[in-house]
Homo-oligomer: A and B are copies of this chain.
Amino acid sequence: MTFTGRISFELPAEFGHRDVTPEVAALVEDSGVRSGLACVQLVGSTGAVTTIEYESGALADLRRAVEQLAPADGHYEHNERWHDGNGFSHVRSALLKTGISIPILDGELQLGTWQQVIAINMDNRDRRRELVVVVVGDGDG
């Protein structure tokens, strides 16, 4: 069986983030899937989805790491061509990627206690971001 859902929300520029675990878990519950997986995708080329312990320290540390990977004030050929100033956003998104898949057992997303699913807006402006979630697997029957 296959179940699909969408989640959308506003996120601030540059590293606006949201713990989407409750919303993804609610979709899993709605799906009725007990064994399977949830495939989560942030639509677009300037965002990312990953997992982390959702507390301000770890989030600040991750932000600093991605700033080093692709500094916001660096030189980007994308910016030379398009003058939209978000070359760093594209690089960060391509490196972190925009999706993950998470196994489901006994109807539960298989995450650690201190492991949350986060959506990150890497763009240089506030954005409404959309997550698409597909749940595939077997129900109780």
A103 at the interface (CB under 8 A from B): yes
Structural contact, A99 and B100, CB atoms closer than 8 A:
yes
Q: A78-B55, A137-B136 are in contact. Are A62 and B90 (CB under 8 A)?
A: yes
Does B91 lie within 8 Å of A65, measured CB to CB? Answer: yes
Interface string of A60-71 (1 = CB under 8 A from B): 111001101110
A105 close to B132 (CB less than 8 A): yes
Contacts of A57 in B (CB 8 A): 76-82, 87
* A74 CB, min distance to chain B CBs, angstroms: 9
A residues touching B (Cβ–Cβ < 8 Å)?
A: 1-4, 35-37, 39-41, 43-45, 50-53, 55-58, 60-62, 65-66, 68-70, 76-82, 87, 90-91, 93-105, 110-112, 114-116, 132-134, 136-138
28 A–B pairs (Cβ distance < 8 Å), ordered by A: A4-B103, A35-B134, A43-B111, A43-B112, A45-B51, A45-B112, A45-B116, A51-B98, A53-B78, A55-B78, A56-B81, A57-B77, A57-B79, A57-B87, A58-B90, A60-B78, A61-B76, A61-B87, A61-B90, A62-B94, A95-B95, A95-B96, A99-B101, A103-B133, A103-B134, A105-B134, A110-B132, A136-B137
Partner of A115, one of B44, B61, B87: B44
How many subunits of this chain does the assembly comprise? Answer: 3
B94–A50 CB distance below 8 A: yes
* Chain B positions within 8 Å of A132 at CB level: 103, 105, 110
